[in-house]
Amino acid sequence: MRLVVGLGNPGARYARNRHNVGFMAVDLIAQRHGVSSFRSRFKGELAEGVIGGARRLLLKPRTFMNDSGESVAETARFFKISLSEIVVIHDEIDLRPGKLRVKCGGGTAGHNGLRSIDALLG
């Protein structure tokens, strides 16, 4: 994994919304690993640091959820990152709050943010 993407919607109005769990998770990862200074790039907020002994990129797209693929695709193209090197953290309406599901590949399960990424990278 070279790129960790947290999905959400921009703006204070959505900051603590369940739909923004991806942003919250990326912020927590950055905090726990001493990754600082997110900067505006590729239609998102991007930070880089060493996590697990390797250089990783953390991305919070600043497009709305349904257009997240724009930010992810621009970042992946610039850094020459393949789809298999990207981890996406997002909400899952089928799970109760506080529950987590980890999966590799598969469909978008109707998630518009994942659809956008798949359409531009898949």
The string of DSSP codes covering 23-70 is HHHHHHHHHHTT----EEETTEEEEEEEETTEEEEEEEE-S-GGGHHH
Measure the CA–CA gap between 117 and 83, rounded to whole angstroms. 10
Active-site annotation holder among 19, 33, 90, 111: 19
Residue type, 70: E
Asked if residues 12 and 62 have their Cβ atoms less than 8 Å apart, the reply is no
CA atoms in the 13 A half-sphere facing the CB of 79: 25
- Catalytic status, residue 90: no
Q: How far is CA 55 from the centre of its chain?
A: 16
Catalytic residues: 19
